[in-house]
């Protein structure tokens, strides 16, 4: 018990989780201070921890390491805790204890997972993130949110089960549960890889992001966008760095969301597709596996949490004031919400990797690493995806929500705490872009990189201006897909439409087969009945009166048969 208590006192993860549980019993008046002070204390504690393994205990025969502090885990834990502070500030006006408690526990579980030094501890925190995060969806308190939350929870639990089974197999073969580089050639490696892939939203496993994130609450969506997928990116970087199949998976992840984001009407779903796109860059970097590529994946995850959080914050503010984030129903909001519009533009320029914004100094590291290792197909895919993200997140989101046609909404600006959270996040996005040295200093590997070279700046500006020109030409010529109400399905068509159709078709087919078999059996029974009636009925052969001679003949025949068989 003393070991557990000591670990709780030094672990920023357990501090956040314990704070979340205590928040459930504290008065509403101190919630604001609790939500803001606790992450600050946790961040200070994280950076006071020396590099190395801490909190080692033995439990049920397993040697568990609850705190492994190194360059890779520290940068992820840092941005997770910063995200907890920003989302707490953003949600200060929310009078919903469930959301505040779930957010703190969720953040603590994510921090615990990145600090875990073994697969058993990772599994515990992995499942904790799933259970705590689903309450942010259910907090919407609608029937639809309840159903979507169940689907979300099922997929997250499946991920945990795969991780558990993979860990058991790995332990039985190697005798170790240490969470280091695993690769796909170790026992249980593919199961663990698939577990990470579900949370990382690999292609065909990604639909839970578009399904769940837009259905969460205003602040819940911001929280969800920070932890689960980036935790999976960390796990891949820790366990599967240099696994080349990740290059192909990541390249596909960067390309396919572009098309669905362009035709999507719900702007929070657009951002969810954009999230898939940006995750692809990180997955490619992990697949390349060089120090520069892994630094790029870590830096891009750090920057992505900030600018994607900022975009979700701005759309959350629109939803809070207007009641919708449908592009077909918005427009002209810059008149009523000018600060929110400005912050949204900062997030859009950051995700589009404009010079002097955070995305520029992080995304380019992955592109440079791909070029250095001669992964030219992946490099081309990343280049196309960089232009595509400008279209759907850099232009579409701010344009259709705050500009375009005037939808006539005259609403109040977002609450002060929302604006303050967006302002701090926007300042971080600009600060990292203007002066990336502090971020580069905490990256896990020694791989010097300078983003502001003349060639890089000119090439990036040419790419962005060309993409912007393409949007203008398509929009002015009427070729850009119109913003209309509707439901767009991608690979979830397989289980939303195809699978129900197959099940229904199979059901009707089996019912038809049953009816035909019943008809055949009925016909056979009627035939048998007719033959029995012919033999044993009142006029049947066996019911007739037989003469003594005939009976004697049958007796003689049977006796002869018996004697023949017996002797």
Helix (H) or strand (E) holding 220: helix 218-224
d(CA 129, CA 225): 13
Structure confidence at residue 5 (pLDDT)? 43
Q: Is the pLDDT of residue 289 over 60?
A: yes
User: Contact, 369 vs 281, CB < 8 A?
Assistant: no
For position 541, what pLDDT does the model report?
59
Task: Express each pLDDT in 263-286 by its tens digit.
Answer: 888 899 999 999 999 999 999 999
User: According to the 3-state scheme, what is the secondary structure of 372-403?
Assistant: HCCCHHHHHHHHHHHHHHHHHHHHHHHHHHHC
Q: Is the pLDDT of residue 43 over 60?
A: yes
Q: How many whole angstroms separate alpha carbon 550 and alpha carbon 555?
A: 9
pLDDT tens sequence across 50-104: 888 777 777 766 778 888 999 999 999 999 999 999 999 999 998 889 999 999 9
- Give the 3-state secondary structure of residue 55: strand
pLDDT at position 492 is 63
State the chain's mean pLDDT as an integer.
87
Q: Which residue has the higher pLDDT, 542 or 420?
A: 420
What confidence tens digit (pLDDT) does each residue in 368-377 have? 999 999 999 9
Confidence label for 532 from pLDDT (cuts 50, 70 and 90): low
Give me the half-sphere count of Cα atoms (radius 13 Å) on the Cβ side of residue 97. 11
Section 333-354 average pLDDT: 93
Answer whether residue 9 shows pLDDT above 60.
no
Tell me if residue 266 falls in helix, strand or coil: strand
Q: What is the pLDDT of residues 183-220, one digit of tens each?
A: 898 888 999 999 999 999 999 888 889 889 889 999 99
Residue 4, pLDDT score: 44
pLDDT for the residue numbered 118: 92
- Torsion on CA atoms 287, 490, 399, 300, rounded to nearest 10: -10
pLDDT at 491: 64
> What pLDDT shows up at residue 8?
47
pLDDT tens digits, one per residue of 122-171: 999 999 999 999 999 999 999 999 999 999 999 999 999 999 999 999 99
Band of pLDDT at residue 493, cut at 50, 70 and 90: low
Residue 477's pLDDT is 76
Give the three-class secondary structure for 86: helix
Type and span of the H or E element at 44: helix 31-48
Res. 40: pLDDT tops 80:
yes
Work out the pLDDT band at 28, boundaries 50, 70, 90: confident
Name beta bridge partners: 118. 178
Q: Write down the domain spans for the chain.
A: 1-240, 241-491
Least confident segment among 7-21, 215-229, 247-261: 7-21
């Amino acid at each position: 018990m003393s070991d557990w208590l000591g670990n709780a006192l030094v672990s920023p993860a357990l501090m956040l989780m314990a704070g979340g549980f205590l928040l459930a019993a504290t008065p509403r008046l101190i919630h604001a201070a609790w939500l803001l002070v606790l992450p600050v204390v946790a961040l200070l504690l994280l950076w006071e921890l020396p590099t190395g393994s801490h909190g080692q205990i033995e439990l049920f025969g397993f040697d568990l390491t609850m705190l492994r502090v190194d360059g890779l885990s520290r940068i992820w834990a840092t941005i997770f805790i910063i995200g907890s502070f920003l989302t707490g500030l953003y949600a200060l006006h929310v009078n919903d204890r469930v959301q505040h408690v779930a957010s703190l526990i969720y953040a603590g579980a994510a921090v615990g997972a990145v600090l875990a030094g073994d697969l058993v501890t990772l599994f515990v925190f992995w499942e904790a993130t799933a259970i705590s995060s689903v309450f942010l969806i259910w907090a919407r308190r609608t029937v639809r949110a309840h159903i979507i939350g169940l689907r979300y929870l099922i997929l997250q639990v499946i991920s945990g089960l795969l991780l558990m089974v993979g860990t058991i197999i790995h332990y039985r073969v190697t005798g170790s549960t240490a969470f280091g580089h695993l690769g796909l050639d170790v026992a249980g490696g593919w199961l663990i890889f698939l577990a990470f892939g579900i949370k990382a939203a690999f292609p065909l496993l990604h639909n839970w992001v578009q399904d769940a994130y837009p259905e969460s609450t205003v602040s819940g969506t911001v929280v969800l966008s920070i932890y689960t997928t980036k935790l999976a990116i960390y796990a891949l970087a820790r366990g599967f760095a240099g696994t080349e199949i990740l290059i192909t998976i990541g390249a596909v992840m960067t390309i396919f969301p572009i098309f669905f984001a362009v035709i999507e009407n719900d702007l929070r779903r657009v951002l969810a597709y954009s999230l898939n796109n940006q995750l692809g860059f990180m997955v490619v970097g992990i697949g390349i596996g060089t120090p520069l590529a892994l630094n790029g994946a870590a830096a891009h995850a750090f920057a992505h949490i900030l600018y994607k959080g900022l975009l979700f914050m701005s759309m959350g503010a629109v939803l809070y004031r207007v009641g919708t984030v449908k592009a077909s129903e918005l427009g002209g909001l810059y008149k009523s919400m000018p600060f929110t519009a400005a912050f949204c533009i900062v997030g859009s320029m950051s995700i589009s990797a404009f010079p002097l914004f955070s995305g520029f100094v992080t995304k380019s590291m992955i592109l440079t690493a791909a070029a250095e290792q001669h992964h030219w197909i992946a490099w081309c895919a990343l280049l196309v995806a960089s232009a595509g993200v400008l279209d759907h997140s850099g232009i579409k989101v701010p344009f259709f929500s705050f500009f375009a046609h005037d939808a006539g909404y005259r609403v109040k600006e977002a609450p002060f705490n929302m604006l303050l959270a967006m302002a701090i996040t926007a300042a971080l996005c600009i600060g990292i872009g203007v002066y990336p040295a502090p971020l580069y200093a905490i990256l896990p590997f020694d791989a010097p990189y300078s983003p502001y070279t003349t060639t890089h700046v000119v090439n990036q500006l040419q790419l962005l201006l060309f993409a912007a020109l393409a949007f203008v030409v398509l929009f002015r010529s009427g070729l850009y897909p119109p913003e209309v109400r509707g439901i767009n399905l991608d690979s979830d068509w397989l289980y939303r439409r195809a699978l129900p159709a197959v099940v229904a078709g199979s059901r009707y087919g089996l019912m038809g087969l049953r009816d035909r078999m019943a008809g055949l059996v009925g016909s056979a029974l009627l035939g048998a009945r007719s033959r029995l009636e012919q033999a044993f009925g009142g006029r049947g052969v066996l019911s007739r009166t037989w003469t003594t001679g005939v009976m004697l003949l049958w007796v003689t025949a049977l006796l002869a048969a018996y004697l023949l068989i017996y002797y």
